[in-house]
Amino acid sequence: MSVAFSKKGPQMSDIVNEAVTVLNGKLAGADFDGTAKFDIEGEGCVMMDSTGARAGDEPADVTLSADVDTFQAILAGETNPTSAFMTGKLKIDGDMGMAMKLASVLA
């Protein structure tokens, strides 16, 4: 699956909307029963739960924060979420068990 975020000055909602589309594809049929928030630094937030992904900034079991490049690489399968966390490119706040569940969905 190719994930491309336009570098031509996209609006915040463009990046978040593209992320929502890709994440909904990955979450479809997945067994993800918690809530997670992906905070794309400087762009906005995406909420994920058992119903799918949507733009939003709400409380969640776990919050994952990364820059656009790291987020794009994770969604494209070019970067392992665990490796991104271990190298400091991905920050995790909250339920680590939920983060591991989400990592398996994103992989």
Tens digits of residue pLDDT in 57-96: 999 999 999 999 999 999 898 999 999 999 999 999 999 9
pLDDT for 9 beyond 80: no
Average pLDDT, the chain: 87
Q: What number is the average pLDDT over the span 32-51?
A: 94
Q: What is the pTM of this model?
A: 0.84
The answer to whether 93 and 65 are in contact (CB under 8 A) is yes
The answer to whether 16 and 46 are in contact (CB under 8 A) is yes
pLDDT score, position 1: 44
| Full set of structural domains in the chain with CATH | 12-106 (3.30.1050.10)
pLDDT score, position 31: 85
Two tokens at 67?
């820059």
6: buried, middle or exposed (CB in 10 Å: 19+, 13-18, 0-12)? exposed
